[in-house]
Amino acid sequence: MVRKAAYPPSFRPIRNPCINLLQIYRLVRQLRSLEIGEQCLDLLSKNRHSCNLLAIFLWSSPGSMRLLLLVITSAYRPLVSNKLSERVVRRTCNAIGLFQTLASHPDTKMSFIRASMPEYLYAFLKTRSRERNYERLRFASLVVIGSLVEVDNPEVVDYLLATEMFPCCLCCMEIGTTLSKTVATFIIYRTLLNEKGLNYLLSMPERYLVVTHCLENMVEVLDVEDEEYLPHLLKNIIGCYLRISENESRIRADLSGYIPWLLVDYKYVNIIRKEKAHANFLFQGDPEAFGNLRRLIWLFGSGTGIPENLPVSHPVWSSDDEECNLKTRRHHLEFQYFCNVFFSLFSHPSSEKMVSGAAAPLTSNPPARVKYLIRGLASEETREQSLDVLCKNRLAYDNLAVLLRNSFGTMSVLLKIIISAYRPLLSDGLTERAVTQICNAIALFQCVASHPNTRIPFIRATMPVYLYPFLNTMSNERSYECLRITSLGVIGSLAKVEDPEVIEYLLSTQIFPSCLRCMEVGKTLSRTVSTFIIYRILLSEKGLKYCFVLAERYLSVSQCLGKLVENLSEDDAENLPQLLKNIIGCYLRLSENERTRPQLSSYVPWKLLDQKYANIVRSDPEALADLRQLVCNLRTSKSCTTHCTDEPPASSDSPGPSIP
* Residue 510: pLDDT band with limits 50, 70, 90: confident
Quick one: what percent of the chain has pLDDT higher than 70?
75
Q: Is 283 helix (H, G, I), strand (E, B) or coil?
A: strand
Q: Which of 456, 442, 448 has its CA nearest to residue 488? A: 442
Cα–Cα distance for residue pair 442/414, rounded to 1 Å: 8
Same domain, 477 and 604: no
Q: Give pLDDT, residue 494.
A: 93
* Residue 605: pLDDT band with limits 50, 70, 90: confident
Same domain, 545 and 573: no
pLDDT at 305 over 50: no
Same domain, 516 and 620: no
In this predicted structure, which of 1-5, 80-84, 142-146, 502-506 has the lowest mean pLDDT? 1-5
* Residue 269: pLDDT band with limits 50, 70, 90: low
Where residue 228 falls (left for φ over 0; alpha for ψ -120 to 50; beta otherwise) is alpha
Same domain, 586 and 492: no
The angle subtended at Cα 318 by Cα 312 and Cα 324, nearest 5°, is 85
Q: Which of 18, 111, 12 has its CA nearest to residue 58? A: 111
* Residue 244: pLDDT band with limits 50, 70, 90: confident
In this predicted structure, which of 2-11, 315-324, 497-506, 551-560 has the lowest mean pLDDT? 315-324
In a domain, residue 224? The reply is no
Cα–Cα distance for residue pair 82/255, rounded to 1 Å: 39
Say how many C-beta atoms besides its own lie within 10 A of residue 152's C-beta: 11
Q: Which of 97, 107, 113 has its CA nearest to residue 48? A: 97
Q: What is the mean pLDDT of residues 489-501?
A: 92
Instruction: Say which amino acid occupies 330.
Output: R
Greater confidence (217 vs 442) lies with 442
In a domain, residue 365? The reply is no
Q: Give pLDDT, residue 266.
A: 58
Q: Give pLDDT, residue 436.
A: 92
pLDDT at 138 over 90: yes
pLDDT at 647 over 60: no
* Residue 88: pLDDT band with limits 50, 70, 90: very high
In this predicted structure, which of 78-87, 260-269, 432-441 has the lowest mean pLDDT? 260-269
Greater confidence (544 vs 305) lies with 544
Q: What is the mean pLDDT of residues 587-610?
A: 81
Cα–Cα distance for residue pair 180/173, rounded to 1 Å: 7
In a domain, residue 74? The reply is yes
Q: Give pLDDT, residue 622.
A: 87
Q: Give pLDDT, residue 448.
A: 94
**Cα separations in angstroms, 578 against 345, 535, 581:** 34, 12, 5
Q: What is the mean pLDDT of residues 545-571?
A: 86
Q: Is 415 helix (H, G, I), strand (E, B) or coil?
A: helix
pLDDT at 445 over 80: yes
Same domain, 421 and 536: yes
In terms of C-beta density within 10 A (0-12 exposed, 13-18 middle, 19 or more buried), how is residue 32 classed? middle
* Residue 315: pLDDT band with limits 50, 70, 90: very low
In a domain, residue 95? The reply is yes
Point out the domain boundary residue: 154, 170, 200. 154
pLDDT in tens, 162-193: 888 888 999 999 888 889 999 999 999 999 99
Cα–Cα distance for residue pair 596/92, rounded to 1 Å: 82
Same domain, 539 and 588: no
Q: What is the mean pLDDT of residues 99-113?
A: 92
pLDDT at 290 over 80: no
Same domain, 501 and 615: no
In a domain, residue 379? The reply is no
The pTM for the full model equals 0.49
Number of domains composing the chain: 3
Q: What is the mean pLDDT of residues 618-644?
A: 72
For 178-227, give the DSSP string.
HHHHHHHHHHHHHHHHSHHHHHHHHTSHHHHHHHHHHHHHHHHT--TT-T
Same domain, 522 and 617: no
Q: Which of 263, 267, 277, 349 has its CA nearest to residue 313? A: 267
Cα–Cα distance for residue pair 198/185, rounded to 1 Å: 14
* Residue 293: pLDDT band with limits 50, 70, 90: low
Domain that holds residue 461: 398-549
In a domain, residue 609? The reply is yes
- DSSP alpha helix (H) spans, 567-620: 576-590, 597-601, 611-617
Q: Give pLDDT, residue 300.
A: 52
Quick one: what percent of the chain has pLDDT higher than 90?
30
Q: Which of 636, 638, 588, 589 has its CA nearest to residue 608? A: 588
The domain spanning residue 439 has which CATH number? 1.25.10.10
Same domain, 7 and 150: yes
Q: Is 356 helix (H, G, I), strand (E, B) or coil?
A: coil
* Residue 7: pLDDT band with limits 50, 70, 90: very low
Q: Give pLDDT, residue 335.
A: 38
Cα–Cα distance for residue pair 262/83, rounded to 1 Å: 39
E strand or H helix at 345: helix 331-346
Same domain, 91 and 62: yes
Maximal C-alpha separation, the chain: 123
Q: Is 36 helix (H, G, I), strand (E, B) or coil?
A: coil
Q: Give pLDDT, residue 358.
A: 30
Same domain, 438 and 408: yes
Same domain, 522 and 573: no
Point out the domain boundary residue: 488, 514, 549. 549
Point out the domain boundary residue: 518, 549, 580. 549
Over the chain, what is the mean pLDDT?
Answer: 77
In a domain, residue 367? The reply is no
Q: Which residues, listed in sequence order, are joined to residue 282 by a DSSP beta bridge?
A: 277
* Residue 256: pLDDT band with limits 50, 70, 90: low
* DSSP 8-state class, residue 321: -
In a domain, residue 272? The reply is no
Cα–Cα distance for residue pair 311/494, rounded to 1 Å: 59
Which sign, positive or negative, has the C-alpha torsion 14, 19, 22, 23? Answer: negative
pLDDT at 272 over 70: no
Greater confidence (417 vs 320) lies with 417
pLDDT at 15 over 70: no
E strand or H helix at 282: strand 282-283
CB of 68 closer than 8 Å to CB of 37: no
